[in-house]
Structure formats: C-alpha cells, structure tokens
Structure 1
Amino acid sequence: MIKILIVDDEKPICDLIDINLTDAGYCCKAVQDGLEAIDLIEREPFDLILLDVMLPGANGYDIMEYIYPLKIPVIFITAKHEVKDRVKGLKLGADDYLVKPFEVVELVARVEVVLRRYNKAQRLLSAGDIVVDIEARKVTRGGRPVVLTNKEYGLLVLFIRNKNIALFRERLYEMVWGDEYFADSRTLDLHVQRLRKKMGWEDNLVAVYKIGYRLEIED
C-alpha cells in the first residue's frame, strides 16, 4: 500500500487530509513538527510527503533540502501563495505546490498525478463490489466486466477516490470534461444517472442539494 507522510502544524488539516486519503486507499501518517518529521523520514520509507512550509522545529524548506537527496516526491501544501514562494518550493525539488485553502478532490487528484509520475500510483481502486484496474482501465462489478464511456470512467474514478465526500458539480465537470461548467447543462446529470445504473448505485450515488454528488458507501 502507498504510504504518505503528512506534515502540517494544524492538526485539523492533518486530520482532514488523513481521513480523505485513507478513504482513497492510502496509508497515512501525520506529524505537526518539522524535526519530528525528519526523525520519522529517517526511520520509515514513504512514497510521498505532503509538506507545509511554516512549521515548528524546522520549516518546510529546510525539510525539503533534507528530503531531496532521498528522491521522495513532495507536494507543498501551504498558505504561502506568492509566486516567489511557489518558485522557491519548486526549485528546491518539490513536485507540486498546493495553496490553502484547497478542495479535497483537487488534493487527491494531485497526489495521484505525482505518484503516477513516479510509477507509484495505485493499480486497483475499489468500492463495495466495484473494482477498477487503473493500469488496464478495466472495471468489474461483482467480478463481471462493465463497459463505460470515457466520461463515465472518469466520474467513477473520482467518486471512488473521494468516497463519502460531497463533490461540487463545477469541480466534477472541470476534472472530467476539462471545461467550464454551465449551470443549465444536463450533461453531468445524465452521465451520473447512467453510472448509477451500471454500478448498481441507485441508493449510493446521491445528489447533494446546491452542491453536486456524493458516493455514500462503506467497504
């Protein structure tokens, strides 16, 4: 299983990231101190590190200089939003830079992109009796293959990676269609209806009033 270290001095943020990445199928550990993070990195192997900049003990830039020779991919997650801060983080070797506040769905997507770049992405995703083989791009339900369109597949992966999280319509449209969302469009709703039927999720893939959709499921 992919192991991710979360380093942020705000425990609520650590907990938020931990819960959602765990739901997405990752194994997470979290610390709120820079020196504690370095000690943990020395003791345990990690596939990815999510790193804040402003930390007690040692700041994120100092930790990045320590991590860089270890070749562990890093995503900075910080409130420091100025271009010079992003440039500094990237020049130190970070693979991505996400500014707070952020949407969970975007974080999960960026984690997947970085892991895929290092050939560490998860091969299998699951939700109930649904299994998605990411490498083969195959979907099974109860062991039987399911044929999906490209857009249905994209929605399926997003919902499984963000189980029990309300996803905004605008974000779903942007992530799957790669285009601006128009309020009067029925395209997303039609694709969700078809996905519900194919996955047997009539009671699981629910509409969230004035927000979008949420996959309610327990493994």
Structure 2
Amino acid sequence: MFRILIAEDEEPIANLIRMNLTRAGYLCTWAPDGKSAADLMEQEKFDLALLDIMLPGINGYELMDYAKACELPVIFLTALGSTEHKVKGLRMGADDYLPKPFEIVELLARVEAVLRRYHKTETVIRACNATIDTASHRVTLDGEEIYLTPKEFDLLLLFARNKNRALYRETIYETVWGGEYMGQSRTVDLHVQRLKKKLHWENIIIAVYKVGYRLNEVHT
C-alpha cells in the first residue's frame, strides 16, 4: 500500500482528499502545517507528497528541499493557479501542479500518473468479476480473456479506479478521449453501452440521472 503525505492547512480540504485517496487504496497522513510536514518527511517513508504552497511556518516551496533530500515525488495542490506559480513549482522539481479547485477524479489520475512514473503503481486492478492487467492491456472476466478496444479498455480502467463514485460525462470524455467535452454525450453513452454488453454488466455500470455513470461494486 502506497503512503501519501498531505500537507494542507485547511482541514475540510485535507479530509476530503484523505477520504477519497483512502477509498482508492492509499494510506494517507495529514500534516496541517509546513513544520509538521518537514518533520514527517524526515522521520517516515512516503511514496508521494501532496503539498499546498501557502502553509503556515514552512511554505510548500521551502518543503521542496526536504522532499528532494528524501527523493520524494511532489504534486503541488494550491490556490495559486497562475502560470508564474506553476512554472516556479515545476522548475523547483515538483512532478505535477494542480490548481484548486480540482475534481477528485483528476487528482486520482495525477497521483497514479506520478506513481507510475516512479514505477510505484499496481499493474493488476480488479473490479467485480473482471481483472485488468495494465501492463499487458489484457482483461479477463471470471478468468476468461475478453477483447476490448483501446477506448473500452481505458473506460473500464476509469470505472475500476473510481468504484462506487458517480462520474460526470464531461469527466469521462476528457479522461478517456483527452479533449474538451463539448456535449458529445452519444460518444460516451455508446461506448459505455458496448462495454456493459461485453462484460454483461448491465446492472453493475449504471446511469446516474443528470450526471453520467457509476460502477457499483457491492462487497458482501
């Protein structure tokens, strides 16, 4: 299980991030200020740090020195969304920079991308009766391999990484197709319907009214 340090002085935001990362399978530790974040970096082992910039005591930029000493990847999560601040953070060695406010699904994707870059991400993901091997791009259903198109594979992966979470059509389109959503609901709907048919998941991937879709995984 990967350990993530969350350095954020606003407790409601920290709790929201921690709750969603925990649901995604990460072990999270919260630091409410720069000094406690620096102490934790020196005392414990983490796989990734999510740093606010405007922290009490030691700010996020200053924490980069501690992160570099620990060879710890960093994503800045900050209200300072200007190009100037973003360029400064990236030039200091941050692996990514996500301005607030942000969608949780985007944060999860960024976290996974950075961990993958450092070869610290799982290659096999399970959802209901499907097993997804991200390294070989193979999907098995109850042990039997099935064929999915590249977009269907990416769509399944998105649902599997966000189990029991409603995903907006805009989020689905922009994550899987990589472009700005301009109302192409039929593109999303048609691919979801084909995926549901191939997996026999008519009652597992369900439509959420005025939102999009959700993968329901019920644990018994």
TM-score, normalization by structure 2: 0.91
Percent identity over the alignment is 56
Provide closer, same or farther for how the CA distance between residues 185 and 120 of structure 1 changes in structure 2, counting only shifts above 3 A.
Answer: same
Q: Single out whichever of 19-28 and 142-151 deviates more from structure 2.
A: 19-28
Provide closer, same or farther for how the CA distance between residues 146 and 26 of structure 1 changes in structure 2, counting only shifts above 3 A.
Answer: farther
CA contact (8 A) 2:42 2:66 kept: no
Distance 1:143 1:202 in 2: 19
Q: What's the secondary structure of 1:186's corresponding residue?
A: helix
Q: Let me know the Cα RMSD of the aligned residues.
A: 1.7
* Count of aligned pairs: 219
The equivalences for 1:187-206 within 5 A come to 187-206=187-206
1:179 Cα offset (Å) = 2.8
Q: What's the secondary structure of 2:98's corresponding residue?
A: strand
User: What does the per-residue CA deviation read over 1:43-93, in whole Å, with 9 as the maximum and x for residues that have no partner?
Assistant: 221111111111123211111121112221100000011222112211211
Aligned partner of 2:3 in structure 1 is 3
Distance 1:28 1:140 in 2: 31
Aligned partner of 2:69 in structure 1 is 69
User: What is the one-letter code of the residue matched to 1:178?
Assistant: G
CA contact (8 A) 1:80 1:99 kept: yes
Larger RCO (alpha carbons 8 Å, 6+ apart) = 1
1:184 Cα offset (Å) = 5.4
CA contact (8 A) 2:6 2:14 kept: yes
Aligned partner of 1:162 in structure 2 is 162
Q: Does 1:179 align with 2:179?
A: yes
Q: Does 1:94 align with 2:105?
A: no
CA contact (8 A) 2:42 2:70 kept: no
TM-score, normalization by structure 1: 0.92
CA contact (8 A) 1:14 1:30 kept: yes
User: What does the per-residue CA deviation read over 1:73-116, in whole Å, with 9 as the maximum and x for residues that have no partner?
Assistant: 10000001122211221121101100000011111111121112
Distance 1:184 1:111 in 2: 27
Aligned partner of 1:50 in structure 2 is 50
Structure 2 unaligned segments of length 5 or more: list them.
none
CA contact (8 A) 1:20 1:162 kept: no
CA contact (8 A) 1:20 1:104 kept: yes
Provide closer, same or farther for how the CA distance between residues 218 and 7 of structure 1 changes in structure 2, counting only shifts above 3 A.
Answer: farther
Provide closer, same or farther for how the CA distance between residues 43 and 129 of structure 1 changes in structure 2, counting only shifts above 3 A.
Answer: farther
Distance 2:108 2:51 in 1: 15
Provide closer, same or farther for how the CA distance between residues 23 and 124 of structure 1 changes in structure 2, counting only shifts above 3 A.
Answer: farther
Provide closer, same or farther for how the CA distance between residues 86 and 182 of structure 1 changes in structure 2, counting only shifts above 3 A.
Answer: closer
Provide closer, same or farther for how the CA distance between residues 60 and 140 of structure 1 changes in structure 2, counting only shifts above 3 A.
Answer: same
User: What does the per-residue CA deviation read over 1:111-153, in whole Å, with 9 as the maximum and x for residues that have no partner?
Assistant: 1211121111221212222221111222122222222111111
Provide closer, same or farther for how the CA distance between residues 6 and 200 of structure 1 changes in structure 2, counting only shifts above 3 A.
Answer: farther
CA contact (8 A) 2:6 2:49 kept: yes
CA contact (8 A) 1:77 1:97 kept: yes
1:185 Cα offset (Å) = 4.4
Aligned partner of 1:41 in structure 2 is 41
1:176 Cα offset (Å) = 1.1
Q: Does 1:209 align with 2:213?
A: no
Distance 1:132 1:29 in 2: 29
